[in-house]
A and B are shown apart, each in its own frame.
Chain A
Amino acid sequence: MNYLLTEEQQMLQELATQIAEERIKPVRAELDEEERFPTEIVQDLAQSDLFGVIIPEAYGGLGLGCLENCLVLEALSRACVGVATTYAASFLGAYPILLFGSEAQKGQYLPELARGDKLAAFALTESQAGSDAGGIQTVAVKDGDDYVLDGTKQWITNAGEAETYTVIAITDRAKGARGASAFIVESSDTGISFGKKEKKMGIRSSATREIIFQNCRIPADRRLGKEGQGFIIALKTLDYSRPGVGALAVGLAQGALEESVHFARQRHQFGTPIISFQAIQHMLADMATEIEAARALLYAVARYIDSQPKDFTKQSAMAKLFPTDVAMRVTTDAVQILAGHGYMREYPVEKMMRDAKILQIFEGTNQIQRNIIGQALNKEFSKKGK
């Protein structure tokens, strides 16, 4: 398909693909097996300028948009979603600063994130607050010129590896949805510590840890936006980042399709390559068609977001929902096509199937995405007075 990408976008895609092929593919199985954080690949991505994609040029970034970000994520996750998640999560942590940071905050944090010298992370989830973010217990209490944070965040991607954390904490419980605020916390601050690296089903090279705040004192100028804006900042951040999860899904599914076609042409049973069986062909046809549909939706939404509309929550949810469901189906079928081989760790598709599952869960489960889309429809139609 030709998506009429500009020369610059194609160059970006090429570069990300080169890194995926040369640096990620050869080590992805090892990283998964050893649950090893991809430090060297993070350095490669930093060297390549790719940590700067969405950061404005004024802060040393490339000043590109959502579509470019998706193109890079897609190319990286075609090789490994674990590595691509590590990279994507740094943007998740950077978005709140980018969208709501003061000039001083942007000037201090964005250049080092754009260079990839430092990684970022985004900390919302807690043990009692998953889909229901309103249930967070972590508090930030104003004390003179400081805020003091107490509480525990759970399952935070890049925790322990990143230096810059954007954290959502309650500043005034009485105010409900207006009672949370967003803060920048640094790994070197006193009172921040990290849990052990979680053992996961998939994306095992990515680091997921608890963050524990115990009397963690930070200067008040680390607050992002106004007091009470915490949930707005979190929701806006997710609006921007969710298509990125869709992009991880499209890349992953594409990788699984390629493995499947390659295998189906090589593997002989009943004296003929299995791709000659209609049952296999039809599975491949459905996989390819769904991937193309997912990609087309993703790029359309990304371009829409880049046109800077006021509200794109529904579209952003769609760009996460559909591709990630497709990736789950496609990777499951990939294992089916490779069958016994596919079930073995020697072949990459079992990992792809394990990796696919998280995409339906994080940054809002796919049930929550459907809620968002449903609620948006309700709102749209009530406005029209129908």
Chain B
Amino acid sequence: MKIIVCIKQVPETQEIRLDPVTHTLLREGVKSIINPFDLYALEEGLRARERQGGTVTVLSMGPPQAGDALREALTYGADDAVLLSDRAFAGADTWATAFTLARGITKLGGADLILCGKQAIDGDTAQVGPEMAAFLDLPYVAWARKLTFVDSEVLQVERLLDHGYDGIEVRLPALITVVKEINEPRVPSFKAKLRAKSQKIPVLSLPDLELEPDQVGLPGSFTQVVKVFPPPARGARELWEGTPTELANRLWTRLQELKIG
């Protein structure tokens, strides 16, 4: 089974600083890490390999230093890594990012299973996975909290919902995005660390992907960030349980307390 795990390098800090003019991320002086959700995707890929055999390739699009994130992914036991990097890719929105990654996957000969994190902790859109599936014309399931192989071609997926989960069967090849409930990522291994130190990470550029400059990066993007601001805090929410009558009475009392009724 050929498994590709997409990982994004993100700034470690939770307090993201933005350039007031361009609204892009200020990355200087901030340590970079693997997007935390992607570590769960990687773990799931490694477990799938343990059960089904095959290889796990980690794939990222980003500047050359994103190679560090890929090298770190190798220390967890991924077989190989590929970086998509070219100045032309800069400024990509989710469309252009997903388009470029999808092309990368096609150039790598496709995959039986593509795993992504639920979302990136910086961009936060959760769009790249599903968009990639669309470009590759593959089925996808987002927010997977459990994967079970029925056989080498069919995967049972539990998709996390607010209060429960959906049970879904999907035929491979498919793309899955995972939530952190899915597993407990392993620790790196020393032998893999030794291997990763000297392992070659191929870099594919615009010509390697046989794309035109206007299909990628800023020119290939349909959206542009105009304004970034912290969202207003959501008010406290409560969940009540009870019979319809109890709940109606309780609601009525509460509305009166709040002077809404």
Contact = CB atoms under 8 A, between A and B. Distances in A.
Contacts of B191: 49, 62
Contacts of A48: 187-190
B189 A49 contact: yes
A3 B60 CA distance: 37
Contacts of A8: 194
A187 B193 CA distance: 34
Interface centre among A7, A22, A49 (most CB of B within 10 A): A49
A231 B146 CA distance: 53
Interface string B189-205: 11101100100000000
A221 B18 CA distance: 70
B190 A50 contact: yes
A108 B197 CA distance: 31
Contact of B187 (A7, A19, A52, A62): A19
Nearest to A72: B190
B184 to A, nearest CB: 8
Nearest to A44: B187
Contacts of A129: none
Contacts of A23: 187
A184 interface: no
B190 A12 contact: yes
B193 A44 contact: no
Interface in B167-215: 186-191, 193-194, 197
- Judged by DSSP, the binding face of A is helix
Interface class of chain B by DSSP: helix
Nearest to A11: B193
A300 interface: no
A359 to B, nearest CB: 26
Contacts of A212: none
Give the residue among B189, B190, B191, B197 with the most A Cβ atoms within 10 A. Answer: B190
A19 B189 CA distance: 11
B187 A47 contact: yes
A368 interface: no
Contacts of A15: 187-188, 190, 193
A18 interface: yes
Interface string A1-39: 000000110011001001100110000000000000000
A300 B186 CA distance: 34
B187 A18 contact: yes
A62 B190 contact: yes
B194 A11 contact: yes
A273 B197 CA distance: 44
A161 B188 CA distance: 25
Contact of B186 (A44, A50, A52, A62): A44
Interface centre among A8, A48, A52, A62 (most CB of B within 10 A): A48
Contacts of B190: 11-12, 15, 48-50, 52, 62
B46 to A, nearest CB: 10
Contacts of A11: 190, 193-194, 197
A50 B190 CA distance: 7
Nearest to A7: B197
Interface in B38-78: none
Interface in A105-146: none
A18 B194 CA distance: 16
B194 A47 contact: no
A331 to B, nearest CB: 27
A365 to B, nearest CB: 34
Contacts of A49: 189-191
A11 B197 CA distance: 10
B176 to A, nearest CB: 23
20 contacts: A7-B197, A12-B190, A15-B190, A18-B187, A18-B188, A19-B187, A22-B187, A23-B187, A44-B186, A44-B187, A47-B186, A47-B187, A47-B189, A48-B187, A48-B188, A48-B189, A48-B190, A49-B191, A52-B190, A62-B191
Closest 6 CB pairs of A and B: A49-B190, A49-B189, A44-B187, A48-B187, A47-B186, A49-B191
Given A47-B186, A47-B187, 4 more contacts: A12-B190, A19-B187, A48-B189, A48-B190
